[in-house]
Copies of this chain bind each other. A is one copy, B any other.
């Protein structure tokens, strides 16, 4: 019988994370201080992050040991299975072999605990008592809540108000794991009060929630802030995914021609693809595709520039693809992909032509998700459907071309807590929200005064 799932035993789980900073074809630009415009140093970040994570943020060591305390929790769901999508292949009648890494088997249902475990652990070690964070659709907030409960840390989550109201199950997951979750903008922070005084009915945004969570951490020495994506150390922690996948592909006797992931802040995509990017830097031919929503086309339409991570301009300026920190994405159901920026690492790899970004409309992603559910069984999170849709495009292209391609995609999580999105799809209420050129231009006006972006066009590859 065909082997459907390639498992690794726990004893084969990687013991180190892979740090692509050691292999970047061009050096990364530093984050800049929001006040001075000068590169930020570790001391600037100390009020919000513990020093052990700041060290990881700036490290250029290729391999970083995963502490025993993190490994002990990873085994709750890791190594995750690598699947062969036989039934999807047959349905599409494609000569392509399709593999997917199933990150949905974690208790939180997504890849987010890969870094949440690590961040909770390092904070615990550093003496932190309480962690604040923001969450959009709730995948990150619920993952951090779980991991804080494992290490006996308090956890406070500022959840974008519109999601807080629309996704009560995520909030309840956080509560079950012992965290406190409030709707953002809230009356608990200056940032929140300022926003509410201008617009009492403000539905919130990820940028606003970050402002609140950062403010709440800065004000208390026992409290630190945690970010679920974008930053270098988050990408680092997620690489356990891709490192496992490489071992599993080797067991399967295949190597991917195409690697696909959806990208909001970039962490699930980075986690799976960075070890393959390393192979590509060292000569392998791979098409590595990051998929984003057409309604929030950060990678495909946003310039590579310095911009703030949040709305009220508290965070350092990061060198990244961005639509501007005031950009408010359309209300698509893939809440995790509604972010104006993109991880600096992913952004720079795009500029270096190592990663190819593609934007896909919402309706195509849900159609793909339903096809996937009816063939492979699993119901994907709306974010993840972007990767499924791109995979189907590539598989059909392989069919047209008659090529025996190997396609790998990262199945970042299930959608069982997001079924309202499927309801909207079935009821014909979903829209594509294509973004008119003038809207993009307007959005980008915000970042024109910022330092000019440097362009690294794969020159020294």
Residue positions of A touching B, CB distance < 8 A: 1-5, 7, 9-11, 68, 71-72, 75-77, 87, 105-109, 146, 149-150, 168-169, 172-173, 175-178, 369-370, 373-379, 414, 416-417, 419-420, 422-423, 426
Which one of B68, B107, B150 contacts A379 once the chains associate, using CB atoms below 8 Å? Answer: B107
Considering only CB atoms, which chain B residue lies closest to A369 in the complex?
B176
User: Are the CB atoms of A168 and B419 closer together than 8 Å?
Assistant: yes
Q: Which of A105, A168, A169, A370 has the most CB atoms of chain B within a 10 A radius of its CB?
A: A169
A-B pairs with lowest CB-CB distance, top 5: A107-B377, A4-B75, A169-B419, A172-B419, A149-B374
User: Are the CB atoms of A9 and B10 closer together than 8 Å?
Assistant: no
Number of copies: 2
Residues of B within 8 A of A375 (CB): 150
Offer 18 A-B interface pairs, CB within 8 angstroms, sorted by A. A1-B72, A3-B75, A76-B376, A106-B377, A108-B377, A146-B373, A149-B373, A169-B417, A169-B419, A172-B420, A173-B379, A173-B419, A176-B419, A176-B422, A177-B373, A416-B416, A417-B417, A417-B419
Residues of B within 8 A of A150 (CB): 87, 375, 377
Residues of B within 8 A of A1 (CB): 10, 68, 71-72, 75
Give the secondary structure class of A's interface. helix
Which one of B106, B109, B177, B416 contacts A169 once the chains associate, using CB atoms below 8 Å? Answer: B416
Query: A374 CA to B377 CA in the complex, in Å?
Result: 29
Considering only CB atoms, which chain B residue lies closest to A370 in the complex?
B176
Query: A11 CA to B4 CA in the complex, in Å?
Result: 11
Beyond A7-B7, A105-B105, A374-B177, whether A2 also contacts B72 by CB under 8 A is yes
